Amino acid sequence: MSIEGTIFRIKKYALHDGPGIRTTVFLKGCPLACRWCHNPEGIDPEPQTMLRDTAHGTVPETVGQRIGVAELIRVIEKDQLFYDESGGGVTFSGGEPLAQPDFLEALLLACNRREIHATLDTSGFAPAAVVRRILPRVQRVLCDLKIMDAVDHRRVTGVGNTPILENLSLMAASGVPLRLRVPLIPKMTDSDANLTAIARFAVTLKTIEGIDILPFHRIGEQKYRRLGRENPMAGQLPPAAERVAAVQAMFETAGFHVGIGG
Nearer CB in complex with ligand SF4: 98/195:
98
Residue 184 interacting with ligand SF4 (CB under 6 A): no
- Scanning 15-23, 25-33, 104-112, 206-214 for contacts with ligand SF4 by CB under 6 A, the matching segment is 25-33
CA 103 and chain centroid, separation:
17
Q: Which is nearer to ligand SF4, 117 or 223 (CB)?
A: 223
The reply to whether 43 sits near ligand SF4 by the rule CB under 6 A is: yes
- Rank residues 30 and 111 by Cβ distance to ligand SF4 and give the closer one: 30
91 and 121 in contact (C-beta within 8 Å)? Answer: yes
Nearer to ligand SF4, 95 or 163 (CB): 95
Q: Which of 18, 64, 88, 94 binds ligand SF4 (CB under 6 A)?
A: 94
Binding residues for ligand SF4, total number by CB under 6 A: 12
Binding test (CB under 6 A) with ligand SF4, winner from 45, 64, 89, 95: 95
For 205, counting Cβ atoms within 10 Å of its Cβ (0-12 exposed, 13-18 middle, 19+ buried), the class is: middle
Q: Tell me how many helices (H) and strands (E) the chain has.
A: 9, 11
What pairs with residue 217 in β-bridges?
none
With beta carbons less than 8 A apart as the criterion, state whether 184 and 216 touch. Answer: yes
> Is 32 a residue that touches ligand SF4 (CB under 6 A)?
yes
The DSSP bridge pattern shows strands 65-68 and 4-14 to be antiparallel
- Which residue, 76 or 185, has its beta carbon nearer to ligand SF4? 185
One-letter amino acid for residue 245 of the chain: A
- In the chain the beta strands, taken as DSSP E runs, fall at 4-14, 22-27, 48-54, 57-63, 65-68, 89-94, 118-122, 140-144, 178-184, 208-215, 258-260
Q: Is 104 in the site for ligand SF4 (CB under 6 A)?
A: no
Closer by beta carbon to ligand SF4, 43 or else 180: 43
Of 27-35, 68-76, 107-115, 228-236, which segment contacts ligand SF4 by CB under 6 A? 27-35
Residues of the shown chain interacting with ligand SF4 in the complex, contacts defined by CB under 6 A: 30, 32-34, 37, 39, 42-43, 94-96, 123
